Amino acid sequence: MKHSVAHDLDQDTARKVARHALEGYARQFERFDPKVDWINEDRAEVRFSAKGLTVKGLLELRLNQFIIELEVPFLLKPFQKKAVDVVEGEIEEWVEKAKRGEVID
């Protein structure tokens, strides 16, 4: 599943937003043992476990959008939309913080 979240931030600020959003996601869902591995400054691999199964994903920063891709095992498909909504919510929250000047790195 591929999903995009639009933004109007410069690329450096978008990178900070992505890092903060993924850190917030990891804290919020610690019980699912989330892992984030940055491949480069614009791409991160994300994975977490639920009900003994692993969900893998990718967050990619592009000009004016964040791309979220998730590989969800068949048994977890009912939770796919929720997972995307949570990541999207974290991103949108941090985009708004960035617009208010609250994102510092």
Instruction: Report if residue 104 sits inside a domain.
Output: no
Q: How far is CA 67 from CA 50, 63, 74, 79, in A?
A: 22, 10, 22, 19
Structural domain that includes position 76: 2-99
Domain count for the chain: 1
Reported as a single tens digit per residue, the pLDDT across 22-37 is 888 888 888 889 999 9
CATH of the domain at 50: 3.30.310.80
- Does the predicted TM-score (pTM) go above 0.95? no
DSSP state of 77: G
94 has a pLDDT exceeding 80: yes
pLDDT band at 73 (very low <50, low <70, confident <90, very high): confident
